Homo-oligomer: A and B are copies of this chain.
Amino acid sequence: MYPAPRTPEQRKKDTLARFATEVDAWVATAGKDGDVYLTPLSYHWNGATFTMATAEQTTTARNLRTAGEVRLAFGETRDVVLVHGVVEAFSEEAVPLKLADDFVAEVLWDPRGGTNPYAFFQVTPRRIQAWREENELDGRDLMKDGVWLV
């Protein structure tokens, strides 16, 4: 039925390739009162953290600032990559130049300096999971508490 489950090493390799090649991630956030929000955002992956940007006035920006945590999903529901990450938020003025410039170089769009203020968010993964079909549910954890298990 399904292909044999991938080795942990292969899953890590596929996951890192996914981070490098995908353009957007599904971004799930929650508000203080427990309401949930979901939207796609473009990102830059620098090998250790994701950088994203969205308008300060959006629900996602508000939630990322207050909750300080985020869930990201990449690609397809039958080739799942999920990230639970902690969030550092920066205003347009306060964002480290390299962080913003690397983001701009990847998404080919600079959110800074418009009339609509944007925020930048740096997401550091704490947990990473990857699976394709049911036979890969065992061993889906690739990172826990910020540490790669493979």
A residues at B contact (CB < 8 Å): 23-26, 28-40, 63, 67, 69-73, 77-78, 80, 82
Protomer copies: 2
Contact (Cβ within 8 A) B77 A38 = no
Q: Which residues of B contact A24 (CB under 8 A)?
A: 77-78
Contact (Cβ within 8 A) B30 A36 = yes
Cross-chain pairs A/B with CB under 8 angstroms, 25 sampled: A23-B77, A24-B77, A25-B77, A26-B26, A26-B38, A26-B73, A28-B28, A28-B36, A28-B37, A29-B36, A30-B34, A30-B36, A32-B34, A33-B34, A34-B34, A36-B36, A36-B63, A36-B69, A38-B72, A38-B73, A38-B82, A39-B82, A40-B73, A40-B78, A40-B80
Q: Which residues of B contact A38 (CB under 8 A)?
A: 26, 28, 38, 71-73, 82
Q: Shortest CB–CB separation between residue A148 and chain B, in angstroms?
A: 21
Closest partner residue, chain B, to A33 (CB atom): B34
Q: Which residues of B contact A78 (CB under 8 A)?
A: 23-24, 40
Q: Which residues of B contact A37 (CB under 8 A)?
A: 28, 71
